[in-house]
Amino acid sequence: MRAMVVEQWGGPEVLVEREVERPVPGLNEVLVRVRAAGVNPVDWKTRASGALITWGALPMVGWDVSGTVEAVGPGVGSLRAGDEVFGMPLFPRQAGGYAEYVVAPARHLAPKPAALSHVEAAALPLAALTAWQTLVDAADVRPGERVLVHAAAGGVGHLAVQIAKARGAHVIGTASAAKHGLLRELGADEAVDYRAVPFEDVVSDVDVVLDALGGETAVRSLEVLRAGGRLITLPGPDDVPAAPDGVSASWVMVEPDRLGLREIARLVERGALRPVVDAVLPLSEAAKAHELGERGRTTGKIVLSVA
C-alpha cells in the first residue's frame, strides 16, 4: 500500500511516499481502507521531533481517518466489512493514518455520519473529541454558562464553539476580525478581535475557558474567570498556570473514545455541528499540508484525500 513515512525527524520535506506492507488486523481489530485523513498540529509537531508518540519501526504519522472496513479480525462483533467508519485510533501510539489502509481497534471507531463525506468526516475525530472531552467530560458545561474559546476559528476551536452552543452555553470566541462572520455562523454569541484589544479587557464573568494556545494566553485567561470558573488548556501540562483560590486550571489530552464519536455524530446528524474544511490535498502532498498548517492561519481543518 502507499503510505507517507518519516525517515528522519525534521521539516515537512521529511514526509515521503513509500510502498509498505499492508497491515493485518489482529484480535479485536479491523482493517480500514482509508478514504481521507485529517491533518492536525500534533502531526507536524511529532514529525518535527518525534516527541510524545510511541513510534513503530517505520514512523508513520496521522490519526484522523474516515473510510470503509475492509476486513475484520477475530473477536470483533460491532463492525462488518463494508461499514463506513471514522475515528482517531491508537492515539498517542502510532496509527499511520496517512496511508491507504490502517489497522485499528474496533472500539476506536464509530459509524461515519451519513450527512458527511469522507473528507468532512476525517476532519472531525481528534479535534472534535478534544473539544468534547474538554467541554463535556472535563468542564461539564451547563446551559447558560459563559464559555470562552480561544483560537475559535481553528481546528479545535470552531468545533468547540458549536459543541458549547449545543450544550446551551453563551459562547465567546477570539479570532481575527476577518473570521468573525464565520464564528457567528457557527453560533458564537460574541467575537473578540484579539489583535485589536486584549481579550481580558472586554470579557469577564466566564465559567469555562478552552485555551488552545497556552503561554501567556492561559495566564491572562485566569483574569476573566468568575468564582468557580474552570480553565482548561490544551498544549500541555507545562502550560497550566497556577490558579488563584476559587478557580481551577487543568490540562486535557485527547484519547480514543467511541462513545464520544457517537455523540459527535449525533450532533452532526441533527445539524448542530459541521466541520469547516480549509483545504483538501492528495495524500502525496502531505508535506504541503504540513507547510500550510504550520503557518497558523488555517480556518477549520486541512484534509488529505487518500482514495
pLDDT tens, position by position, 212-252 = 999 999 999 999 999 999 999 999 999 999 999 999 999 99
d(CA 7, CA 14): 6
Three-class secondary structure of residue 135 per DSSP: helix
pLDDT tens, position by position, 92-148 = 999 999 999 999 999 999 999 999 999 999 999 999 999 999 999 999 999 999 999
Q: Which three cell numbers stand for residue 24?
A: 493485518
d(CA 126, CA 190): 25
Domain edges within the chain: 2-124+275-305, 127-251
Residue whose C-alpha cell is 468532512: 120
What is the DSSP code (8-state) at residue 99? B
Residue 52's pLDDT is 74
Of all helices (H) and strands (E), which one includes residue 192? strand 190-192
CATH class of 2-124+275-305: alpha beta
d(CA 21, CA 73): 17
d(CA 216, CA 201): 15
CB 208 within 8 A of CB 139: yes
Residue 12's pLDDT is 97
CB 89 within 8 A of CB 104: yes
Residue whose C-alpha cell is 459509524: 111
N residues, the chain: 307
Q: Percentage of the chain with pLDDT > 70?
A: 100
List of residues 6+ apart from 259 with CB closer than 8 A: none
Enter the CATH code of domain 127-251.
3.40.50.720
Residue 283's pLDDT is 98
d(CA 108, CA 89): 5
Q: Which three cell numbers stand for residue 28?
A: 479485536
Closest CA to 120 of 273, 285, 291: 273
Strands 84-87 and 65-72 come out as antiparallel
Instruction: Give the dihedral sign, CA 151/270/64/306.
Output: negative
Residue whose C-alpha cell is 446551559: 143
Closest CA to 60 of 103, 19, 6: 6
pLDDT tens, position by position, 162-195 = 999 999 999 999 999 999 999 999 999 999 999 9
Residue whose C-alpha cell is 477570539: 174
Q: Which residues pair with 148 in a beta bridge?
A: 172, 209
Of all helices (H) and strands (E), which one includes residue 211? strand 206-211
